[in-house]
Amino acid sequence: MDRAHRDTILVEDAEILSHEPHAGEQYVMRVRAPGCARRARPGQFAHLTVDPQRPMRRPISIMRASAADGWVDFLYKAVGDGTRLLAARRRGEQISVLGPIGVAFEIRERRPLLIGGGVGMPPMIFIAESLRYSDSKPFVVLGSEVPFPFTARPSQFPLPGLPDGVIAAMPLLEDWKIPSRLASLQGYAGCHQGYVTDLARYWLDGLSDRERAEVGVYACGPHAMLGAVVNLAREYDLPVQVSLEEFMACAVGGCAGCVVEVSTPGGPAMKRVCVDGPVFDGYTVF
Ligand SMILES: Cc1cc2nc3c(=O)[nH]c(=O)nc-3n(C[C@H](O)[C@H](O)[C@H](O)COP(=O)(O)OP(=O)(O)OC[C@H]3O[C@@H](n4cnc5c(N)ncnc54)[C@H](O)[C@@H]3O)c2cc1C
Ligand code: FES
């Protein structure tokens, strides 16, 4: 195991406490994993066994963690063999949870702009929850081309700059008093018919210069979306952190199976997404 991460990543036999299916082959799973729950920070992930017969684990981001109650939530989409096997696991069964793994987001600005696309939503929910009782003023933009894994409701927070009718928000975030808006090309009611970056731009344009100077951008989602987010951040001259996905074997820094090229002051360097990331400064990757 990578030295920097020694003694920080735990292996736990975790009971599945609930496992809810949603449209678009999406699942929300809660497991009892007190060690992981205690240490987890937004942006980190866990490497999960999907079936007792399959030694290869799958990496899934941590969406929520309760240190007090010892549970961890995941949102995942069944896209292939491994995640379909995971989807077949039932409440009361056990899976092995290796985690929490990786470099977390570091929230440095007063107005975090959180952008999540598809199954890139979970780390944004985790950041939002971590800021719930702070004096920071996050805005969350979520995008999906399959039905959202929650029933959207009209936001209680009017926001300058956003088009009329773009009112759909995530209920959990509303309950936490955190403004959010949704984007999709699928024509879902109350959502922006377009990209998450359009919504982010509307919001940025609705801020004063002083407010805009307090914004930092945080994103997780498909690679193309992350590229567009970094371009937007560059245009507005904002700091940006992104969470990357790569195929992973060990997920603890030992196999170099997940390397990506990033720019460093000393020139291009190869970094492991599992333990040097998955969160990187967006400008070093795109
Ligand atoms: C750090 C990290 C966090 C992640 N968090 C989540 C999450 O919160 N929710 C979630 O649903 N998924 C997440 N993923 C992706 C998830 O790990 C993959 O979807 C899963 O491993 C696919 O396994 P499979 O056996 O079902 O599919 P496979 O049969 O291996 O592949 C099915 C399809 O998915 C694509 N795919 C598989 N793995 C990846 C990958 N790592 N990156 C990009 N494309 C891939 C393949 O190209 C193929 O099209 C995360 C990945 C990483 C690296
Ligand atoms: S998956 Fe083995 S080093 Fe990252």
DSSP string, 3-34: GGGTTT-EEEEEEEEEEEEETTTEEEEEEE-H
Q: Cα of 10 to ligand 2 centre, how many Å?
A: 16
* Band of residue 239 on the pLDDT scale cut at 50, 70, 90: very high
Each domain of the chain, given as residue ranges in start order, spans 3-101, 111-243
* Band of residue 218 on the pLDDT scale cut at 50, 70, 90: very high
Determine whether 246 is exposed, middle or buried from the number of CB atoms within 10 Å of its CB (0-12, 13-18, 19+). middle
Q: Determine contact, residues 260/286, Cβ cutoff 8 Å.
A: no
Mean pLDDT of 184-209: 97
Work out the mean pLDDT of the chain and round it to a whole number: 96
Residue 6: its pLDDT value, please?
58
Residue 9: its pLDDT value, please?
87
Q: Cα of 48 to ligand 2 centre, how many Å?
A: 14
Q: Which ligand is nearest to the CA of 122?
A: 1
* Model pLDDT for residues 128-180, shown as the tens digit of each residue: 999 999 999 999 999 999 999 999 999 999 999 999 999 999 999 999 999 99
Q: Determine contact, residues 75/63, Cβ cutoff 8 Å.
A: yes
Residue 7: its pLDDT value, please?
65
Q: Cα of 79 to ligand 1 centre, how many Å?
A: 7
Residue 110: its pLDDT value, please?
96
Percent pLDDT > 90 in the chain is 96
CA quadruple 150, 156, 157, 162: dihedral, nearest 10 = 70
* Model pLDDT for residues 88-126, shown as the tens digit of each residue: 999 999 999 999 999 999 999 999 999 999 999 999 999
Strand runs (DSSP E) across the chain, as ranges?
10-22, 26-32, 45-48, 58-61, 64-66, 71-77, 94-101, 111-117, 139-143, 153-154, 168-169, 180-184, 192-193, 215-220, 240-243, 259-264, 267-272, 279-281
**The ligand 1 atom nearest the CA atom of 78:** 26
Instruction: For ligand 1, atom 39, name the residue with the nearest CA.
Output: 247
* Model pLDDT for residues 51-69, shown as the tens digit of each residue: 999 999 999 999 999 999 9
Q: Cα of 232 to ligand 1 centre, how many Å?
A: 26
The answer, yes or no, to whether any atom of ligand 2 lies below 6 A from the CB of 259, is no
For the cut 90, the answer to whether the pLDDT of residue 83 exceeds it is yes
Residue 124: its pLDDT value, please?
98
Q: Which ligand is nearest to the CA of 258?
A: 2
Decide yes or no: CATH 1.10.3720.10 for domain 111-243: no
Decide yes or no: CATH 3.30.930.10 for domain 3-101: no
**The ligand 1 atom nearest the CA atom of 82:** 25
* Band of residue 8 on the pLDDT scale cut at 50, 70, 90: confident
CA quadruple 123, 57, 9, 107: dihedral, nearest 10 = -10
Residue 217: its pLDDT value, please?
98
Percent pLDDT > 70 in the chain is 98
Q: Cα of 268 to ligand 1 centre, how many Å?
A: 26
For the cut 80, the answer to whether the pLDDT of residue 11 exceeds it is yes
**The ligand 2 atom nearest the CA atom of 259:** 4
For the cut 90, the answer to whether the pLDDT of residue 43 exceeds it is yes
